[in-house]
Amino acid sequence: MGWCDDPKSSHYNKIVKLPFAHKHEKLYKKENIYDIILVLNYNMKPVKKNKGSAIFIHVAKRNYKKTEGCIAVRKTHLIKIVKKIKIKTKVLIEIQK
């Protein structure tokens, strides 16, 4: 599976089956950071080209290395989040300084 991040594609900001002809991110990583992915409802309905795509909450890399615009947490914490969320759950992201 992949996630299309190519604004030239009609599948922009959507999950896609690989192989895929347009620019995309593979939803498989050796580091296992995509073992669990929560897709935030950003630029989804309607999808606007060039507004950005694929904001995920996913498993953090070792030592919490920075992400490319996503949110990463320990796998144990992500499992707790998954158990608590519902279809209408709203996620508030607070940046701590």
Question: Tens place of pLDDT for every residue, the chain, 97 residues?
Answer: 999 999 999 999 999 999 999 999 999 988 899 999 999 988 998 999 999 888 999 999 888 888 888 999 999 999 999 999 998 898 887 877 7
Look at residue 47 and tell me if it is in a domain. yes
Asked whether residue 96 is domain-assigned, the answer is no
Does any domain span residue 94?
A: no
Q: Is 71 contained in some domain? A: yes
Residue 32 resides in a domain: yes
In a domain, 35, yes or no: yes
Q: Classify residue 28: in a domain, yes or no.
A: yes
Whether residue 39 lies inside any domain: the answer is: yes
- Maximum Cα interatomic distance, the chain, rounded to a whole number of Å: 40
- What's the number of domains the chain is made of? 1
**Which residue range forms the structural domain that includes residue 74?**
2-84
Residue 10, both tokens: 């009609």
* Strands in 5-97 per DSSP E: 15-16, 24-26, 37-39, 56-59, 71-73
